[in-house]
Structure 1
């Protein structure tokens, strides 16, 4: 019989480097995503779609759409998680808008770009998750509704993403939406396969 896992608290320095690495990796994924004209799921996907439609920057829209979810995060996850998530969202909003000034992509194959984008984004999210943070949004709402009503969190996320990609079908070409969906599925598979509480526990 294996011994129970011991919870490990990260230091401030460890959290800082993880936030810098995780948000930079996710920002690189977003750079690839937007250069291909794709979207993704959850609130990041909503912010990307709104940025295409309105011309406002992703960083600004991503920060704004996450604001309502901080209250739910505080109630559901507590102040530590909420503060870390706020910092992660703010960093991603800043880095995602700044990165195109330093990295320019002139040519990228859509399939290869989708696979690389999903891999980089999935790894970036795992880094943040393992340091007790998230990028906010629908995941927090889904957990809150599950607590209050019993409606499964995964179903809430699927409904939101289904609605988002349905709307995208009316404003984007079908191949673009299909590549976007492929990328979102791969990101979720990476997280589901590699981020398990029975393998890694830390705060």
Structure 2
């Protein structure tokens, strides 16, 4: 069996750009319905609702402490690409909020669309050896070192965050949010497998 062919810098750049754009737009869909998601992005969304500060600025700031873990355990290239992905998602989310008007017919529609769009975006980011920081860094580390599926690790963290969200949001919105997170993590859990996708 031949060795896997690494992604070129151009392939990495376009993968991170497209993945980040999808994730940023997914966050905009989510916020338009007053929903939340898990991981660091979910914390940023909750803080944005509570403070009125834009998601992008909060998301970028709360990811800063996690880059040291990424650098120590996952390397310089992973850390730089993750930093770029977080910055791009922050920017795309703010840009979408200004330029794109989204009016979901029902929170369930927003939840499903978010799960599909952001799941595809996060899959692209993961496949180019990056993450969206925070819990994503830990999930990626555990998948690479322990063989645990990144999607399932993130889902466990999501459940804790959704429990906290119940203290701040209406229960029905939290339940629809959980649907979106489940779809997103199922896409990652089923499709992001080292034994099938071998390009680095």
Total equivalences in the alignment: 198
Aligned counterparts, 1:79-94, within 5 A: 79-94=76-91
CA change 1:58–1:202 in 2 (3 A) is same
Query: CA separation in 1, counterparts of 2:57 and 2:156?
Result: 25
Q: Is the 8 A contact 1:130 1:201 kept in 2?
A: no
| 1:162 Cα offset (Å) | 3.1
The one of 53, 57, 61 aligned to 1:56: 53
Q: Is the 8 A contact 1:26 1:124 kept in 2?
A: yes
| 1:107 Cα offset (Å) | 4.1
Query: CA separation in 1, counterparts of 2:91 and 2:110?
Result: 23
Query: CA separation in 2, counterparts of 1:144 and 1:187?
Result: 19
| Gap regions ≥5 residues in structure 2 | none
Query: CA separation in 1, counterparts of 2:104 and 2:35?
Result: 15
Q: Is the 8 A contact 1:43 1:137 kept in 2?
A: yes
Q: Is the 8 A contact 2:35 2:107 kept in 1?
A: no
| 1:115 Cα offset (Å) | 1.1
Query: CA separation in 2, counterparts of 1:82 and 1:134?
Result: 9
| Gap regions ≥5 residues in structure 1 | none
Say what the alpha-carbon RMSD is for the aligned residues: 2.4
Q: Is the 8 A contact 1:51 1:61 kept in 2?
A: yes
Runs of 4+ in 1 over 3 A off after TM superposition: 141-147, 152-160
The one of 68, 71, 83 aligned to 2:65: 68
Query: CA separation in 2, counterparts of 1:140 and 1:76?
Result: 10
Residue 42 of structure 2 corresponds to residue 26 of structure 1:
no
Query: CA separation in 2, counterparts of 1:15 and 1:156?
Result: 24
The 3-state SS of whatever aligns with 1:189 is: helix
CA change 1:160–1:179 in 2 (3 A) is same
Q: Any idea what the Cα deviations from partners look like across 1:121-179, whole Å, max 9, x if unmatched?
A: 110001111111110111324566899xx9x8979755643332122111100000001
Show the counterpart of 1:166. Answer: 163
Show the counterpart of 2:125. Answer: 128
Residue 43 of structure 2 corresponds to residue 46 of structure 1:
yes
Q: Structure 1-normalised TM-score?
A: 0.88
Of structures 1 and 2, the larger Rg is shown by: 1
Query: CA separation in 2, counterparts of 1:111 and 1:167?
Result: 20
